[in-house]
């Protein structure tokens, strides 16, 4: 994992850019939560780099493999909450620093019931914060929206009591969110 680089403040950020950058980060979290892989990949520039505690990812092809092979255990029964956004000017874009909280609200096998609008009572002390990560996204404008140029996931804290019983993507496939329009 690479440490966060120093990003000097390059002046004021236009309020519209600040709002749209925060919305973009929150929307990207939603795409992860709903497992909209194409939107997730599209949110990154083709040559983007992500520094994750699972390793460094270069470009969309590596990210796709990572999402398919290593990431599914972080999806079913988990919501994402980006908090305390700080937006600064960054060369030809912006940098957004924030804390990302992954809240386990259900076991993977129970998550579908919540997606169907049911209310469940958890005997397991859920919901609870499973993972805390400081984040930094360097964003650039492409076409008419922001795209991630570099993503840094800082040193993270994980509550292992909330780990799913398996990290095997094949076993988790049945619990992954399904896009309604897919």
Q: Where are the domains of the chain?
A: 15-175
CA dihedral 127, 129, 131, 135 (to 10 degrees): 120
Question: Average per-residue pLDDT in the chain?
Answer: 91
Report the predicted TM-score, pTM, of the whole model to 2 decimal places. Answer: 0.91
Mapping DSSP to helix (H, G, I), strand (E, B) and coil, where does residue 15 land?
Answer: helix
State yes or no: pLDDT of 8 exceeds 90. no
Reported confidence tier of residue 115, pLDDT bands at 50, 70, 90: low
In Å, the largest CA–CA distance within the chain is: 50
- Per the model's pLDDT, the better-predicted residue between 43 and 117 turns out to be 43
- Hey, what CATH topology would domain 15-175 get? Nuclear Transport Factor 2; Chain: A, (3.10.450)
| Residue among 74, 87, 178, 182 nearest 139 (CA) | 87
Return d(Cα 161, Cα 33) in angstroms, integer: 21
Tokens for 63? Answer: 């990210």
Q: What Rg, from alpha-carbon coordinates, does the chain have? A: 17
- Per the model's pLDDT, the better-predicted residue between 128 and 4 turns out to be 128
State yes or no: pLDDT of 76 exceeds 90. yes
């Amino acid at each position: 994992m690479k440490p966060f680089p120093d990003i000097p403040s390059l002046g004021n950020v236009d309020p519209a850019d600040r709002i749209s950058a925060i919305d973009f980060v929150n929307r990207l979290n939603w795409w992860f939560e709903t497992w909209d892989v194409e939107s997730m990949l599209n949110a990154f520039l083709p040559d983007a780099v992500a520094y994750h505690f699972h390793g460094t990812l270069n470009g969309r092809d590596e990210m796709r493999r990572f999402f398919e092979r290593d990431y599914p255990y972080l999806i079913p029964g988990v919501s994402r909450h980006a908090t305390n956004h700080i937006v600064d000017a960054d060369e030809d874009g912006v940098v957004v620093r924030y804390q990302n909280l992954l809240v386990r609200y259900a076991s993977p096998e129970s998550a579908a019931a919540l997606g169907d609008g049911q209310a469940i009572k958890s005997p397991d002390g859920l919901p609870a914060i499973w993972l805390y990560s400081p984040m930094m996204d360097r964003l650039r404008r492409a076409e008419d929206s922001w795209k991630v140029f570099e993503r840094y996931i800082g040193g993270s804290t994980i509550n292992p009591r909330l780990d799913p019983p398996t990290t095997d993507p094949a076993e988790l496939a049945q619990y992954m969110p399904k896009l309604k329009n897919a």
